[in-house]
C-alpha cells in the first residue's frame, strides 16, 4: 500500500510539473511574441526640432531651416529640412523665427551646490556651470552627482578646493584652500582631490602681497591632472604671473588681469592656445571694470577672440551677481570688441572645453548631449535675444517652454 501511494504521488507531481512547465512556456511564448512591441513602446519617442536657424557653437555660419533630431538624452542627427528626413512617429516642434543654440555654460561660479541657483540657470538656458572652488572644502561629490540627476538643474562641474602656496593667497571668505609647499605634496593633493570626485583642479598663482605657489609645485599639480585627462584652471590677477601660469600648464586663466596687459603677453597666451575666462562682472564689482575691459580688448586684438570663455565669478564676492543668463557679462564682452559669434562660442564650445566636456557638450552635433537653447530672434544681430527664451532642453528633456511656443 505504501509503494502504491508513493507511485501515485510521484505521478501526480510529474503531471503538476508538466502543467506548470506548459503554463510557463505558454507565458514565455506570449511574452516573446509581444517583446518587440513592448521594446518599441519603451523606447523614447524621437523629437524633431524643425525650421529654426542653427548656430551650432563652432563659429560656423548659421544654418537656416535647420533640423535637429533628439533621441533620449542625445542629439541623433543635424541637418536641414532639405537634407534630413524627420523620423516616422517623431514629435515635431516648429521653430520658425527662432534660433537654435547649444546650451550656454557659465564657466566660473561659486556656491553652486544649490538647487535654486542651478534651476534658475537652467531655466535661462545656462545648462552647465563650473564651480571653481567648492564650499565647504570637503564638498560632497555625492551631492553633486545627486543634483546632476535632475535635468531641471544646470549640470554641475566642480573643481573642489583651490590649491595655493603655503601662506599664499586665499581670497577673503574662501574656506576652501589646500596649501602646497613641495611638488610631492602637489602630486599627493591633486590625486586626492581627483580621487574624491573633482572634475578638474584649480591653482592660485597670485603674487600680490603673498608668496605665489612655486612653479615646480604648480607644474606637479597640472601634470598630475593632465595625466588623468583633467583640466587645470589657474587664478591670476597680475600680468607678471601670466608666464608662470602658462609654464605651469594652465588650460584656462581665471580672471583678466587688473593691471595693464602688455600686448606681447596677450600674444603669448594666444600662441600657447590657452583660454581666458575674464570674469568682467566681478572686476566691475571691485572697481577694476575699466582696465579689465581694456585688457580684454587687447587680448582680442592680439587674436584671442576665439580663446575667451564666458564666466562671471558668481558668488565669488559679497556683492550682488546676475543669476541666470549673464547679460551684463555678455554686453561687456561685446563692448571689449568681441563679436556676437565669438561671445556665443565663448559660452558654448570654449566653455565646454575648459570643463573637460568638449566631447559631450558645447556644440550642436550628432552624439552630443541634447542641451539646447532656443530663442526668438537672431542673437547675431541683437544679443538681447538670448533672454527671449522659447525653449530650453537639458539632456533631451524640455525643461522650459514659453506659453507662446508652438
- Annotate the chain with three-state secondary structure: CHHHHHHHHHHHHHHHHHHHHHHHHHHHHHHHHHHHHHHHHHCCCCEEEEEEEECCCCCCCCEEEEEEEEECCEEEEEEECCCCCCCCCCEEEECCCEEEEECEEEEEECCCCCHHHHHHHHHHCEEEEEECCCCCCCCCHHHHHHHHCCCCCCEEEECCCEEEECCCCCCCCCCCEEEECCHHHHHHHHHHHHHHCCCEEEEECCCCCCCCCCHHHHHHHHHHHHHCCCEEEEECCCHHHHHHHHHHCCCEEECCCCCCCCHHHHHHHHHHCCEEECCHHHHHHCCCHHHHHHHHHHHHHCCHHHHECCCCCECCCCCCCCCCCCHHHHHHHHHCCCCHHHHHHHHCHHHHHHCCCCCCCCCCCCCCECCEEEEECCCCCCHHHHHCEEEEEECCEEEEECCCCC
* 391 pLDDT above the threshold of 90: yes
Buried b (16+ CB within 10 A) or exposed e, 63-83: bebbbbbbbbbbbbbbbeeee
Dihedral sign (CA 294, 295, 300, 303)? positive
Return the pLDDT at 166.
85
- The predicted-structure confidence for 203-249, as pLDDT tens digits, reads as follows 999 888 888 889 999 999 999 999 999 999 999 999 999 999 999 99
Angle between helices 327-335 and 289-301 (to 10 degrees): 60
246 close to 269: Cβ distance less than 8 angstroms: yes
Q: What is the mean pLDDT of residues 82-101?
A: 96
Q: Which residue has the higher pLDDT, 263 or 213?
A: 263
- The predicted-structure confidence for 11-57, as pLDDT tens digits, reads as follows 444 444 443 444 444 444 444 444 444 444 456 789 999 999 999 99
- The predicted-structure confidence for 336-353, as pLDDT tens digits, reads as follows 999 999 999 999 999 999
CA atoms of 105 and 173, how far apart (whole Å): 25
* 288 pLDDT above the threshold of 90: yes
The greatest distance separating any two alpha carbons of the chain, rounded to the nearest whole angstrom, comes to: 110
228 close to 209: Cβ distance less than 8 angstroms: no
Return the pLDDT at 173.
60
Mean residue pLDDT of the chain comes to 89
Q: What percent of the chain has pLDDT over 70?
A: 86
CA atoms of 178 and 193, how far apart (whole Å): 10
- The predicted-structure confidence for 177-198, as pLDDT tens digits, reads as follows 889 999 999 999 999 999 999 9
- The predicted-structure confidence for 296-351, as pLDDT tens digits, reads as follows 999 999 999 999 999 999 999 889 999 999 999 999 999 999 999 999 999 999 99
Pairing, β 47-54 against β 91-94: parallel
Q: What is the mean pLDDT of residues 62-85?
A: 97
Task: List the single range of 28-42, 101-115, 140-154, 354-368 with lowest mean pLDDT.
Answer: 28-42
* 3 pLDDT above the threshold of 50: no
Return the pLDDT at 135.
62
- The predicted-structure confidence for 159-178, as pLDDT tens digits, reads as follows 988 899 988 777 766 667 88
Return the pLDDT at 25.
45
With bands split at pLDDT 50, 70 and 90, how would you rate the model's confidence at 126?
very high
The residue among 90, 153, 104, 162 whose CA lies nearest residue 133 is 162
Task: List the single range of 32-46, 79-93, 133-147 with lowest mean pLDDT.
Answer: 32-46
Q: Which residue has the higher pLDDT, 292 or 134?
A: 292
Phi, psi of 330 (to 5 degrees): -65, -45
Amino acid at each position: 500500500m505504501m509503494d502504491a501511494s508513493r507511485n501515485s504521488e510521484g505521478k501526480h507531481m510529474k503531471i503538476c510539473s508538466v502543467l506548470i512547465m506548459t503554463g510557463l512556456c505558454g507565458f514565455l511564448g506570449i511574452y516573446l511574441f509581444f517583446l518587440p512591441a513592448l521594446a518599441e513602446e519603451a523606447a523614447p519617442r524621437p523629437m524633431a526640432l524643425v525650421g529654426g536657424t542653427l548656430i551650432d557653437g563652432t563659429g560656423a555660419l548659421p544654418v537656416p531651416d535647420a533640423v535637429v533630431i533628439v533621441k533620449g538624452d542625445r542629439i541623433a542627427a543635424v541637418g536641414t529640412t532639405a537634407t534630413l528626413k524627420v523620423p516616422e512617429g517623431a514629435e515635431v516642434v516648429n521653430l520658425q523665427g527662432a534660433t537654435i543654440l547649444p546650451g550656454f555654460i557659465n564657466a566660473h561660479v561659486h556656491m553652486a551646490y544649490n538647487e535654486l541657483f542651478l534651476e534658475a540657470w537652467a531655466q535661462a538656458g545656462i545648462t552647465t556651470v563650473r564651480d571653481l572652488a567648492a564650499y565647504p572644502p570637503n564638498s560632497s561629490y555625492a551631492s553633486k552627482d545627486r543634483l546632476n540627476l535632475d535635468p531641471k538643474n544646470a549640470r554641475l562641474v566642480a573643481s573642489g578646493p583651490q590649491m595655493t602656496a603655503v601662506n599664499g593667497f586665499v581670497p577673503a571668505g574662501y574656506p576652501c584652500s589646500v596649501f602646497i609647499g613641495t611638488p610631492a605634496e602637489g602630486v599627493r593633493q591633486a590625486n586626492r582631490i581627483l580621487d574624491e570626485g573633482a572634475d578638474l583642479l584649480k591653482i592660485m598663482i597670485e603674487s600680490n602681497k603673498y608668496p605665489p605657489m612655486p612653479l615646480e609645485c604648480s607644474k606637479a599639480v597640472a601634470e598630475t591632472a593632465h595625466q588623468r585627462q583633467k583640466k587645470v584652471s589657474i587664478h591670476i590677477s597680475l600680468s607678471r604671473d601670466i608666464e608662470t601660469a602658462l609654464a605651469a600648464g594652465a588650460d584656462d586663466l581665471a580672471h583678466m588681469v587688473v593691471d595693464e596687459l602688455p600686448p606681447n603677453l596677450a600674444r603669448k597666451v594666444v600662441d600657447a592656445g590657452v583660454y581666458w575666462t575674464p570674469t568682467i562682472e566681478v572686476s566691475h564689482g571691485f572697481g577694476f571694470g575699466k582696465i579689465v575691459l581694456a585688457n580684454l580688448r587687447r587680448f582680442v586684438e592680439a587674436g584671442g577672440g576665439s580663446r575667451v570663455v564666458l564666466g562671471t565669478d558668481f558668488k565669488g564676492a559679497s556683492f550682488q551677481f546676475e543669476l541666470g543668463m549673464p547679460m551684463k557679462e555678455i554686453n561687456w564682452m561685446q563692448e571689449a570688441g568681441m563679436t556676437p559669434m565669438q561671445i556665443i562660442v565663448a559660452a558654448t564650445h570654449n566653455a565646454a572645453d575648459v570643463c573637460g566636456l568638449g566631447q559631450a557638450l558645447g556644440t550642436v552635433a550628432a552624439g552630443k548631449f541634447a542641451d539646447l537653447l532656443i530663442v526668438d530672434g537672431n542673437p547675431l544681430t541683437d544679443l538681447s535675444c538670448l533672454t527671449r527664451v522659447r525653449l530650453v532642453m537639458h539632456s533631451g528633456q524640455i525643461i522650459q517652454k514659453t506659453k507662446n511656443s508652438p
